[in-house]
Amino acid sequence: YYRNLVEEKNYSVDQLLIQEYFPFEHVLKTLLELYESILGLKFTRVTDQPVWHEDVVCLAVNDAADGRFIGYCYMDMFPREGKFSHAALFPLQPNVQYKGKRSYGVCSL
C-alpha cells in the first residue's frame, strides 16, 4: 500500500494504467511457460475441480518429462470483498505418500 503511494507521489506511477498493458491471461500464460521451462513442469487449466469463486483458476501440475501428476495450484488473483489485499501463498495439502496411499499437493496463490 505505502509503496504504491510513494510511487504515485514521487514518480507519477499509476498502477491501474500500467495494468492495461499486462492483461491477466497473457501474463499468466507467459509466466507458466517460463516456470515450465525452468522447473520441468507442465501446467494445464482444469475445469472439473471445484473452486470457491468463479474467478479462481485451477491448474493441474505435472512433471514435463514423464507426465506424472504432482498436484493442483489454485490461482485466486483478483481482489474482492473479504479477501486478503496482499499477495499470499497458502499450502492447502502436502504431497506425501503414507501407507501406500498418495496425497497430492494442493496450494493456492
pLDDT at 41: 98
CATH architecture of 2-108: 3-Layer(aba) Sandwich (3.40)
pLDDT digits (tens, 9 = 90+) for 25-73: 999 999 999 999 999 999 999 999 999 999 999 999 999 999 999 999 9
The domains of the chain are located at 2-108
pLDDT at 53: 96
Task: Name beta bridge partners: 98.
Answer: 101
How many residues in the chain? 109
pLDDT band at residue 6 under the 50/70/90 scheme: confident
- Record the pTM: 0.80
Cβ burial 67-102 (10 Å sphere, 16+ → b, else e): eeeebbbbbbeeeeeeeeeeeeeeeeeeeeeeeeee
Runs of H (alpha helix) within 13-59: 15-19, 24-39
pLDDT at 15 over 80: no
Average pLDDT over residues 11-30: 86
| Cβ neighbours of 59 (radius 10 Å) | 20
Average pLDDT over residues 78-104: 91
